[in-house]
Amino acid sequence: MLTGIEESFRDKIVLITGASSGIGEELARQLGRAGAVLTLAARRTQLLQVLGQEIRAAGGVEPLIMQCDVTQDEDPRHAVAETVLSRGRLDIVIANAGFGVVGSFAQLTVEDYRRQFETNVFGVLRTLHAALPEVVKTGGQLVIVGSVAGWIASPGASPYAMSKFAVRALANSITPELALMGVRVTLISPGFVESNIRRVDNQGQLHAEAAEPVPRWLVAHRSHAVAQMLRAIARRQREVIITGHGKLFVALERFAPWVLRAAAHRMAATRGSYRTAPKST
């Protein structure tokens, strides 16, 4: 899958947050095959242990497993410190941990938005701040997993879209700043990719039995999408849009935004729940 770019990652020390499932899990799997030396960080360490065994069985270097909740200030710092203590340096950090809060604005609370930002925005900030001093030493790379939702906001997903707009703004702002320090920033903006993110509720709890709400034909295969992501990281690109439909949506937002606005109005009208009266708080 990674033919031609394996040398870009061989022996590189890479920390991945949110590595226990979805895109983070597949990033770990493919990087392990490419010869990267991994730190896998997430809340669910049992899943990380299983993934680590798989990577080792496939001939990769045994990953360092770290319990890490990016909403806690100390956890990302601890993951970075243990990586450097164990491996001697840190080359690439992939801030991947995230989930989606959905629902109509009238039904959501301020706390729902705060919970979304604690993981998707402040969790990224905690990870990048913790890693920056070490990545400066190696002239390395900070990778942020954003979303096409950072370009296009749709009805019923305002917390998630806000969080992804925020990390895209963060990436755009810090890219020239950190370039002066020898650090490259890469923003990955996927469309719909095979993942558990749409089976996670607004409290961050996984419901593995839940049906995929997005039509199957619109969901990109995870291994293919992650191979594209790693190609962009290897090339140290500034931003990459992943999936064909994602590229189409971003192009429409840039050059024909009225098309998406009309679609959003139709979507809101179809889902009459958006007219529900606000909650009392």
Query: Using an 8 Å Cβ cutoff, are 75 and 69 in contact?
Result: yes
Spot the catalytic one: 151, 160, 165, 249.
160
The Cα angle at residue 84 between residues 80 and 88, in degrees rounded to 5: 160
Six token digits for residue 140: 């390395």
Six token digits for residue 199: 């089976």
Six token digits for residue 195: 């993942």
| Residues ≥6 apart with Cβ < 8 Å to 127 | 17, 70, 76, 93, 95, 97
Comparing C-alpha atoms, which of 34, 25, 33, 32 is closest to residue 234? 34
* 236 Ramachandran zone, left/alpha/beta (phi>0; psi -120 to 50): left
Instruction: Quote the radius of gyration of the chain (alpha carbons, Å).
Output: 19
Strand order of the β-sheet with 92-95 is 64-67, 37-42, 13-17, 92-95, 141-145, 184-190, 239-242
Residue corresponding to tokens 């690109």:
237
160 as an active site residue: the answer is: yes
Strand partners, 240: 188
Query: Using an 8 Å Cβ cutoff, are 220 and 229 in contact?
Result: no
Could you give the residue numbers annotated as active site?
160
